[in-house]
């Protein structure tokens, strides 16, 4: 098995992982930051106040970006399965 092929697959898998997780993490981060700023300006010290808006934002992001995330993962999986014969031919 070629080490260059392994390196390319690992880099692509890390890129896909970051790309897929970014919308969900970004939505939670933005909503959490906005709620924290509102809490700081109004002097509300309730820690559980951020939970429900973050949960709603994450679910909404999953609904919006879910089909794209699924298709991206499916394309990557198909690419990996297509590489299996190349990996078998590379074995001495």
Give pLDDT tens digits along the chain (92 positions). 578 888 998 999 999 999 999 999 999 999 999 999 998 899 888 878 889 999 999 999 999 999 999 999 999 999 999 988 877 766 66
Tell me how crowded residue 61 is: count the other CB atoms within 10 A of its CB. 20
pLDDT of residue 91: 62
Give CA–CA dist 55/12, Å, rounded: 29
Q: What is the distance between the alpha carbons of residues 76 and 84, in angstroms, rounded to a whole number?
A: 13
Q: Helix, strand, coil % (nearest 5) of the chain?
A: 90, 0, 10
Single pTM value for the model: 0.78
At 62 the pLDDT is 96
Distances (CA, A) of 33 to 6, 30, 47, 50, 64: 39, 5, 13, 9, 21
Residue 90 is predicted with a pLDDT of: 61
Residue with tokens 């951020």: 50
């Amino acid at each position: 098995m070629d080490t260059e092929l392994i390196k390319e697959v690992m880099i692509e898998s890390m890129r896909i992982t970051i790309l897929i997780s970014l919308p969900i993490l970004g939505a939670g981060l933005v909503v959490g930051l906005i709620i924290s700023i509102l809490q700081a300006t109004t002097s509300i010290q309730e820690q559980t106040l951020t939970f429900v808006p973050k949960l709603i934002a994450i679910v909404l992001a999953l609904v919006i970006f879910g089909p794209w995330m699924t298709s991206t993962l499916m394309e990557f999986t198909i690419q990996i399965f297509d590489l299996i014969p190349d990996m078998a031919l590379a074995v001495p």
